[in-house]
Structure 1
């Protein structure tokens, strides 16, 4: 899921791709934000890309 966020996919696209409800995706992203200790989705993307995630296309 983090790879998809880092690639620039929104929650709706991630939910369709992973066959999860949008609420489940939103909850997972919120949990990742907390665990990685970043304030928002943009910071999460920067951190994930620095770690080599998100190399795919949107």
Structure 2
């Protein structure tokens, strides 16, 4: 039972961070109250690898 409760809490925390990212840093705005969290999420998003348009075209052809 404890495992299930912890899993649900972790899932809610991750979902909250995703919603917070989409609501503020993704649109280029500061997170009210915790600007350090918005800065950290923006740095993490900039560091994440992305698929460029040219790579997408190559993947479609295969």
- TM-score (normalised: structure 2): 0.31
Higher percent of residues as helix: 2
- TM-score (normalised: structure 1): 0.32
The higher relative CO (CA closer than 8 Å, separation ≥ 6) is in 1
The structure with the larger Rg is 2
